[in-house]
Amino acid sequence: MNPPDAMTPGAIAAAGFEIAVAVAGVWALWAAVLAPSARARRTLRLTPWLLPPLDFACFLCFVFVGATIPSAGVGYLVRNTHLGSDGVLILGSSVMHLGILLGLAGFFRAFGARSNPSGPPVPAGQILQTGLVTFLIAMPIVDVTSIGWDYCLVHLGLPDDRQAMVEILQNSHSKLLVGSLMAVATLLVPLTEEIIFRAGLFRFLRTRTPRWAAILVSALIFGAMHQSWSGFVPLTVLAVVFCLAYERTGSIGTTIVAHALFNLNTFVIVAAGIGS
């Protein structure tokens, strides 16, 4: 974070917004989770996903094929173009996530009703509300975790690296690249990652393993998948919050909305120059 005397008006406004989000998150954490009245009415609405292990292996195969084949094809087509490394990375990410969505659609179509990992229908207004509350609750928890983890990185001598997409946002002066990156991060990424990690991996494990194991394993894989030491622990904690929210609401839409808001908030922080 920049020192106060070096902060622009936009950065000061963004910092104030982040403080307001953190305060609202603490209040939401108390009102929706920790308060005695909230604990008394706590229910778990996530239904079991009785998908056979072989079918789940096919689920992972459809995801893998969707992620790799279109990306490889686009990589071959653009290898002699002048997009630049950042443009190629964003285009490749877009194609990869679109390919994953196509793979998932193919899996659900091929395997019929038993492959559907979604719970009972939830009204759109309720999804937006629970998604916003989940985002607010996650923010102070992730913020505190990030501060502690950054301290550990410094004292353990581990690299304080950043995700490639964050590096692009910090360094790129192209509005087209930044806009494309924002669209990928707030629309495609939440859809694919929530379906794979929460509606897929977590729910499959939750039906067959102890609750703590399902949460921990899926969250650790989610954190490691982002390939960043600086983000590993905070993103693992974020995944735990998302697992608990999905388990409680039974709606994957809740965590998709929360994930999109989290990624959008990251854009605000990085674009304003107050963090990464």
Q: Token match 């004292």: residue? A: 155
Under a CB-based contact definition with an 8 Å cutoff, are residues 275 and 1 in contact?
yes
Question: Where in the sequence is the domain holding 216, given as residue range(s)?
Answer: 28-45+120-276
Domains in the chain, number: 2
Residues in the chain: 276
Domain boundary residue, one of 81, 97, 116: 116
Write down the pLDDT at residue 128.
Answer: 97
pLDDT on residue 85: 75
Residue 127: the pLDDT is 96
pLDDT of residue 117: 59
Exposure of 98 in the CB half-sphere (CA atoms within 13 A) = 11
The answer to whether the beta carbons of residues 145 and 234 sit under 8 Å apart is yes
Q: 164-173 contacts: CB < 8 A, separation 24 or more? A: 164/89, 165/89, 165/90, 165/93, 166/266, 166/270, 166/276, 168/86, 168/89, 168/90, 169/267, 169/270, 169/271, 170/270, 170/276, 172/86
Split the chain (276 residues) into runs of 10 and give each run's mean pLDDT. 62 90 96 91 88 95 95 80 78 93 94 69 92 98 94 82 72 81 94 96 96 98 90 96 96 97 91 73
User: Other C-beta atoms within 10 Å of 10: how many?
Assistant: 13
Quick check: 55 and 156 in contact, CB under 8 A? Answer: no
Compute the distance between CA of residue 182 and CA of residue 175 in angstroms, rounded to an integer: 10
Asked whether residue 275 is assigned to any structural domain, the reply reads yes
Q: How many Cβ atoms are within 10 Å of 46's Cβ, its own excluded?
A: 20
- What is the distance between the alpha carbons of residues 177 and 168, in angstroms, rounded to a whole number? 8
Question: How far is it between the farthest Cα atoms of the chain?
Answer: 62
pLDDT of residue 258: 98
Tokens at residue 45, please? 């609405």
Nearest-angstrom CA–CA distance, 11 and 103: 40
Q: Are residues 106 and 205 in the same domain?
A: no
Question: Can you tell me the distance from the alpha carbon of 209 to that of 201, in angstroms, rounded to the nearest whole number?
Answer: 12
Domain membership flag for residue 169: yes
- Is 265 in a helix, a strand, or coil? helix
Same domain for 179 and 96, yes or no, is no
Do 41 and 54 share a domain, yes or no?
Answer: no
Domain C-terminal end among 64, 91, 116: 116
Question: In terms of domains, do 273 and 143 share one?
Answer: yes
Q: Is the pTM of this model over 0.75?
A: yes
Identify whether the C-beta of residue 186 lies closer than 8 Å to the C-beta of residue 256: no
Question: Helices 164-171 and 84-111 meet at what angle, rounded to 10?
Answer: 140
Q: Residues 77, 187: one domain? A: no
